[in-house]
């Protein structure tokens, strides 16, 4: 898009005028956006779980892990089991949001997405902050997924008695 700088822009008071802007292009863009939004909504509503048939059932996995670095083989295993279904890797941070300037899960979300890219699995990541692991697991089971794409299989990847091995250090 080419913008012409007006005299007011040099002083910081005006806005740029776009050379190719007309009401025709605006109307075309608005109509395209509206059509796409309605089309996506239509297909999301077709994912109604009441219309599901047993022959089309696929496992929609929710994997809850404590330490992602020691759960790499489990993540790979669940990725192999999902058979083109939904796969969500979730983690619960124990803590309280009161008195914190920002969401503590926001910084870790990027690290989890890097792990998913590194392991070459097709999965979504969900992190939540809760007062206990039990409460966080209940939150994740209820909020994971979108529309008719909700997890129908929950896998717990917590083993406290097992020594943790860092699979990413190799």
Model confidence pLDDT, tens digit, residues 156-169: 887 666 566 776 77
Model confidence pLDDT, tens digit, residues 100-132: 788 888 888 888 889 889 999 988 889 888 888
Model confidence pLDDT, tens digit, residues 25-34: 889 999 999 9
Model confidence pLDDT, tens digit, residues 133-151: 889 889 888 888 776 678 8
Report the mean per-residue pLDDT for the chain: 80
Give the CA distances from residue 56 to residues 41, 62, 85, 142, in Å, rounded to whole numbers and listed in that order.
21, 19, 11, 23
pLDDT at residue 164, rounded to an integer: 65
Predicted TM-score of the model (pTM): 0.63
Model confidence pLDDT, tens digit, residues 64-100: 988 877 888 888 898 888 877 888 999 888 888 887 7
May I ask the CATH class of domain 54-157?
A: alpha beta
Helix segments in 61-170, DSSP class H? 72-81, 104-119, 133-143
Q: Where are the domains of the chain?
A: 3-45, 54-157
Task: For residue 6, give the 3-state DSSP assignment.
Answer: coil
């Amino acid at each position: 898009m080419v913008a012409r700088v007006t005299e007011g822009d040099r002083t910081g008071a005006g806005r740029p005028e776009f050379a190719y802007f007309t009401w025709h292009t605006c109307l075309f863009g608005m109509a395209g956006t509206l059509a796409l939004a309605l089309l996506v909504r239509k297909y999301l509503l077709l994912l109604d779980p009441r219309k599901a048939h047993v022959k089309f059932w696929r496992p929609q996995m929710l994997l809850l892990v404590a330490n992602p670095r020691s759960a790499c083989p489990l993540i790979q295993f669940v990725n192999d089991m999902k058979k083109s279904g939904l796969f969500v890797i979730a983690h619960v941070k124990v803590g309280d949001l009161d008195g914190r300037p920002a969401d503590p899960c926001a910084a870790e979300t990027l690290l989890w997405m890097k792990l998913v890219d590194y392991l070459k699995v097709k999965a979504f990541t969900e992190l939540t902050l809760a007062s206990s692991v039990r409460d966080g697991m209940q939150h994740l089971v209820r909020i994971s997924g979108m529309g008719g794409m909700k997890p129908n299989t929950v896998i717990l990847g917590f083993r406290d008695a097992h020594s943790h091995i860092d699979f990413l250090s190799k």
